[in-house]
Structure 1
């Protein structure tokens, strides 16, 4: 399964009129991707409750929306709300019958039963709520990755590009940051992703050279990819430029090393690095639009949350605000179908 990158769609939630816009936008996206009336209605219901909850406890926040590629050419809808409020009463919000104001008052607990994936992280810095909904006919397991990708000043073009490939027990993940931002940077990133998608599990030295050849004639950019194989319980990482990457478990974090240079410009052949005993770890890759000084130990319990929640928390708290930004989080599970 190949998952091509896409931007996170962001809708502000600052007054009650924007709840309806979030509902209509999410429902339309579901309908466009094959959801029937009942399943699109579930999306609309959850979107309404999530957006209403932001106004109730935070007064303002954001509604994040994306389409999820699923095995077998199916699709899911991912919705998240992100805020910076203090004092989120998770127990009250999860209680059935707790009204978030202007809704049926069914509560986030009941909403969670309308979803295939529901997760929350809340502390004094704010809250992130995640809901993933698949069609009722789609009984495949959730693919445990998350991404938060945003272009500078909401430009339609984004110089950051990501790509994921799943094949049996193997996962390959790519992040490219085209130099600068805007259309020329995006062109460089897409050229690299195109080469990666053709052979994501190829020998890493050859694969990096393929990306280099494809990106010649563009601005070039920073590139990193990680190839995970659960059967050998190992990960191979190759990077050129300033894509950040870490392997984490609840006890420790390991930074992954890149080489200097510009893919599509000048670089020496990138020696890949191998990391053992990584089954069950989190892989986090990010462009330099994200500060590198974050530490998940400052967020008790966050390492155990869904990768999509982790990506949104890191983006919310560590985005530099002066470049495109991508945060890709992948759960290195033991097996994948």
Structure 2
């Protein structure tokens, strides 16, 4: 699988009234049609969104749908996440057709599972996150074990957080930039650095950082984190300047990755990249300082085993500071034959 993903904001649809179900369905179906889905596949997306929005109202009274376009094989796919703070539910019971805690037909989650190519859930007494990914029926795609939740402050169309991800064979290179402040000038700083990254994503991180530093001069500058993983070696290399948070998480522990002080585009001391061997099977989490740093997946039993997109959405839900742009990127570091 070779592909490149570029920074894009999460499209958020609020769900707190029944009138919003139809609106969400139309938005999602239109998005699917723009991605080249035929009438049947676009109808699957519309059905999933209708069921997810209805479930939010039935079980949590209010919540959000998060929409994102994904790279596919022959054409793009659609990611849909339902996020709420309701009382949670028993997934095994709710997947059974006919079961309902609200006196309804009880076909929602079962229908979503059958219609989506990728389906996953985390639910507890703090709320639920439900993931559905849809692709064309004729498109043979390998699911990307990656998630991102990117939101600008006060829904500004400009976002000072910029991210990128490139996969080439067994290698992964991930970028996150947090331009100083927020708004258009912060976004311009991030985009200047990202343009360099996308030209040479697998260059040595110190060399790549130097080139980004040159490109970001004259802008506000920003914090930068570069992560490169080679599955054939099982090794992660990380280089960070500034306050981008980064963690490697396995089933037993979590460790923060070390960054250097400074501002790319303005000033920093020549840094060294850090090597983290035997990283295969771990989860890499990168996040801008719009997310609180005091979180632990261990506080959510079973979450470590969920899809990275579910993890990213949950961290945003529970730990967004609410006073800056915020981006969370989660990547499963899998073996070369996975």
Please give the TM-score of this superposition, normalised by the length of structure 1.
0.96
Q: Does 1:153 align with 2:154?
A: yes
Structure 2 contact 290–321 (Cα < 8 Å) conserved: yes
Structure 2 contact 164–175 (Cα < 8 Å) conserved: yes
Residue equivalent to 1:238: 239
Alpha-carbon distance, 1:98 to partner: 4.5
Alpha-carbon distance, 1:29 to partner: 0.4
Residue equivalent to 1:55: 57
1:126-205 maps to which residues of 2 (within 5 A)? 126-205=127-206
CA 1:9–1:103 in 2, change beyond 3 Å: closer, same or farther?
farther
1:75-154 maps to which residues of 2 (within 5 A)? 75-98=76-99, 106-154=107-155
Q: Does 1:34 align with 2:36?
A: yes
Residue equivalent to 1:22: 24
1:138-166 C-alpha deviation (Å, 9 max, x unpaired): 11210110001110011111000110000
Residues in 1 aligned to 2:198 and 2:322: alpha-carbon distance in whole angstroms: 29
Aligned residues: 336
1:265-290 C-alpha deviation (Å, 9 max, x unpaired): 11112210000001111000000000
Structure 2 contact 73–140 (Cα < 8 Å) conserved: no
1:27-81 C-alpha deviation (Å, 9 max, x unpaired): 1001001111111111001010011110010000011101012245x21100011
Structure 1 contact 100–107 (Cα < 8 Å) conserved: no
Q: Which runs of 5+ in 2 are unaligned?
A: none
Secondary structure of the structure 2 residue equivalent to 1:52: helix
Please give the TM-score of this superposition, normalised by the length of structure 2.
0.96
Secondary structure of the structure 2 residue equivalent to 1:321: coil
Residues in 2 aligned to 1:122 and 1:86: alpha-carbon distance in whole angstroms: 8
Residue equivalent to 2:223: 222
Residue equivalent to 2:71: 69
Structure 2 contact 55–108 (Cα < 8 Å) conserved: no
